[in-house]
Amino acid sequence: MVNSPSPTIGIFDSGVGGLSVWREIVRQMPHAGTLYLADQAHVPYGPRSAEEILGFARSITDFLLAQGAGIIVVACNTASGVALRPLRAAYPDVPFVGMEPAVKPAAEQTHNGRVGVIATPTTFQGTLFKQLADRFGHDVEIHTRICPGLVAAVEAGDLDTPGTRLLLETCLAPLIATGIDQLVLGCTHYPFLRPTIERIVGPDVAVIDPAPAVARQTGRLLRKQDLLSHDTGPAHHTFFTSGPAARLHRMARTLVGYEGKVTACTWHGAELWTTR
Ligand code: DGL
């Protein structure tokens, strides 16, 4: 159990992508403690089956609850798409916040009715995205693209290398050709590539990252349940990874300036263990 003021916000992703959500949560709720879990033993989730991802999501939820989390933020579009509903059903007393590609704000803001979405294959196949496409697909054209290799590039810290720029140019060219004026970042890894993406799509395309809205929703849920800590002292954060701790340490410092503790945890069959 952690010693931080309760409740602690448990956040997870396949890797460092969810840190784009973590930094918004910390910006909006600077006194709330967090537990961040990067399942780097299994990154990327994108090409994996829904069943496998659901299994990971359940075990990670058990792990974060055991470590003291009072709310779970699924800071991964891929895991949210397949696991959010089953998680809510399996843990009726736990508040969950999930990600979905920000098609709604894009549909509201577009001037020419053309919206682009980049995400993983599993996100596009999931029910959450299908519902969004059904709901908004009549009013706007929704153009989708998967971007193989981008998650790995962010995990490696290659944010603005020639290789990553080429991956992005190749991925975005067909979307730009359709004339979109909104581009939804449908994977939490992509906001770390935002400056490069904005250079490629140019000033006429608005780039939308749902992280601020997800952090606001987390705050709303905490307040509704009267769970937001009234502490005004420094918040306690702990990061876990199922991969090498030194790797997450390095990347968390580079991506979000996190200098705190990183603890390794290990998969034992379907369970996550830590020795801390
Ligand atoms: N960051 C994740 C997402 O939002 C997962 C990407 C992956 O592991 O493929 O979809």
| Residues involved in catalysis | 76, 187
Mean of per-residue pLDDT scores for the chain: 94
Peptide bond into 7 cis (omega under 30): yes
217 pLDDT exceeds 60? yes
Instruction: Determine which residue's CA is closest to atom 2 belonging to ligand 1.
Output: 76
Beta-carbon contacts of residue 170 (< 8 Å; ≥ 6 apart): none
Name which of 62, 39, 68 is nearest 244 in CA terms. 39
Tell which atom from ligand 1 comes closest to the C-alpha of 76. 4
DSSP 7: P
Chain centroid offset of residue 179 CA:
27
pLDDT above 90: percentage of residues in the chain? 89
134 Cα to the center of ligand 1, angstroms: 23
Q: How far apart are CA 227 and CA 270, in angstroms?
A: 30
2 pLDDT exceeds 50? no
pTM of the model: 0.95
Name the residue of 77, 129, 147, 190 whose CB sits within 8 Å of the most ligand 1 atoms, as the mutation to test its pocket. 77
Tell which atom from ligand 1 comes closest to the C-alpha of 48. 9
Cβ-based burial of 93 (10 A; exposed 0-12, middle 13-18, buried ≥19): exposed
Task: Give me the amino acid identity at 65.
Answer: L
Q: Give me the mean pLDDT over the 56-70 stretch.
A: 97
46 Cα to the center of ligand 1, angstroms: 6
Pocket residues for ligand 1 (CB within 6 Å)? 13-14, 17, 43-46, 76-78, 120, 123, 151, 187-189
Q: Where are the alpha helices (DSSP H) in 126-229?
A: 127-136, 150-155, 162-177, 194-201, 211-224
3 Cα to the center of ligand 1, angstroms: 30
Tell which atom from ligand 1 comes closest to the C-alpha of 99. 4
245 pLDDT exceeds 70? yes
Q: For residue 229, what pLDDT band results from cuts at 50, 70 and 90?
A: low
Name which of 33, 96, 98 is nearest 67 in CA terms. 33
Task: Give the per-residue pLDDT at 275.
Answer: 73
Q: For residue 127, what pLDDT band results from cuts at 50, 70 and 90?
A: confident
Tell which atom from ligand 1 comes closest to the C-alpha of 45. 8
5 pLDDT exceeds 50? no
Task: Give me the amino acid identity at 148.
Answer: P
Task: Give the per-residue pLDDT at 4.
Answer: 41
Q: Are 261 and 236 in contact (CB under 8 A)?
A: no
261 pLDDT exceeds 60? yes
Task: Give the per-residue pLDDT at 276.
Answer: 64
Structure confidence by residue, pLDDT tens digits, 146-205? 999 999 999 999 999 999 999 999 999 999 999 999 999 999 999 999 999 999 999 999
231 pLDDT exceeds 80? no
Q: For residue 224, what pLDDT band results from cuts at 50, 70 and 90?
A: confident
226 pLDDT exceeds 80? no
Structure confidence by residue, pLDDT tens digits, 34-54? 999 999 999 999 999 999 999
Q: Strand pairing of 261-268 and 271-274?
A: antiparallel
